[in-house]
Amino acid sequence: MEALSAGTNASAGVPLSVDLVGWADIVFCMEKIHVRKVRQRFGRFLRGRVVCLDIPDRYGYMQPDLVALLDRKVRPHLRRT
């Protein structure tokens, strides 16, 4: 399994791109506004699902509370092979 992180704003350290969206099997978004941005800007390039995790985008990078929330909310969407 491979994962990358990207932001929906142009000022993001790694802005979301057509290449990243096309690469992803699943695009996880923190909030509904992010889902709307992804679908509006990259909808025709999506090849996988877009999932909203309903996590407020107010956490710092790798903040322990965020890591725990991500683990709990992402895990059900991942298939085991």
Q: What is the pLDDT along the chain (81 residues), one digit of tens a residue?
A: 889 999 999 899 999 999 999 999 999 999 999 999 999 999 999 988 999 999 998 998 889 999 999 999 999 998 764
pLDDT at 81: 47
Helix (H, G, I), strand (E, B) or coil at 20: helix
8/10 Cα distance (integer angstroms)? 7
Domain boundaries, the chain: 18-77
pLDDT at 39: 96
- Which residue, chain included where needed, has tokens 């999506």? 46
Query: pTM of the predicted model, to two decimals?
Result: 0.88
